[in-house]
Structure 1
Amino acid sequence: MTLDGDLKKEAWWAVADFHPFTTEVRGIPANQIRKSWCKATEFRKDLIPKELLFEGSADVMKAAGMSFAIEGRFDGTATLQVAVVGVFQECAGPKGRFFLILDQPAGGTPRIRFVDAVRTNRQFGALQKGQGGSIVAWECMECDGSSVLKWDRKKRKFGWVPQPEEQ
Structure 2
Amino acid sequence: MAGIAGVVALTTVQAAAEQAFVTLNGDLKKEAWWVIAEFHPFTTEVRGIPANQIRKSWCKATEFRKDLIPKELLFESGADAMKGAGMSFAIEGRFDGAATRQIAVVGVFQECAGPKGRFMLVLDQPDGGKPKIRFLDAVRTNRQFGALSKDKGGKPVLWECMECDGYSVLKWDRKKNRFGWEPQAEEL
* TM-score of the two chains, using structure 2 as the length reference: 0.86
The answer (yes or no) to whether the contact 1:61–1:141 under 8 Å persists in 2 is yes
What residue is the counterpart of 1:107 in the other structure?
128
Task: Provide the C-alpha distance between the structure 1 equivalents of 2:167 and 2:184, rounded to a whole number of angstroms.
Answer: 10
What residue is the counterpart of 1:153 in the other structure?
174
Computed over aligned residues only, the root mean square deviation of the Cα atoms, in angstroms, reads 1.0
What residue is the counterpart of 1:57 in the other structure?
78
1:111 Cα deviation after fit = 0.1
Q: Which segment is superposed worse, 8-17 or 126-135?
A: 126-135
Output the amino acid matched with 1:163: Q
Output the amino acid matched with 1:37: W
SS in 2 for 1:13: helix
What residue is the counterpart of 1:127 in the other structure?
148
Query: Is the aligned partner of 1:39 residue 2:77?
Result: no
Task: Provide the C-alpha distance between the structure 2 equivalents of 1:16 and 1:120, rounded to a whole number of angstroms.
Answer: 12
The answer (yes or no) to whether the contact 1:37–1:90 under 8 Å persists in 2 is yes
SS in 1 for 2:129: coil
Output the amino acid matched with 2:139: V
Query: Is the aligned partner of 1:96 residue 2:117?
Result: yes
Identity over aligned pairs, percent: 82
Task: Provide the C-alpha distance between the structure 2 equivalents of 1:34 and 1:118, rounded to a whole number of angstroms.
Answer: 12
Task: Provide the C-alpha distance between the structure 1 equivalents of 2:78 and 2:29, rounded to a whole number of angstroms.
Answer: 20
Aligned residue pairs: how many? Answer: 165
Gaps of 5+ in 2: 1-21
What residue is the counterpart of 2:43 in the other structure?
22
SS in 1 for 2:31: coil
Task: Provide the C-alpha distance between the structure 1 equivalents of 2:161 and 2:76, rounded to a whole number of angstroms.
Answer: 17
Determine which structure has greater relative contact order: mean sequence separation of CA pairs < 8 Å that are 6+ residues apart, divided by chain length: 1
**Consecutive aligned runs of 4 or more in structure 1 exceeding 4 Å deviation:** none
Q: 1:74 aligns with which of 92, 95, 99?
A: 95
SS in 1 for 2:153: helix
The answer (yes or no) to whether the contact 1:14–1:122 under 8 Å persists in 2 is yes
Task: Provide the C-alpha distance between the structure 1 equivalents of 2:151 and 2:126, rounded to a whole number of angstroms.
Answer: 23
* TM-score of the two chains, using structure 1 as the length reference: 0.97
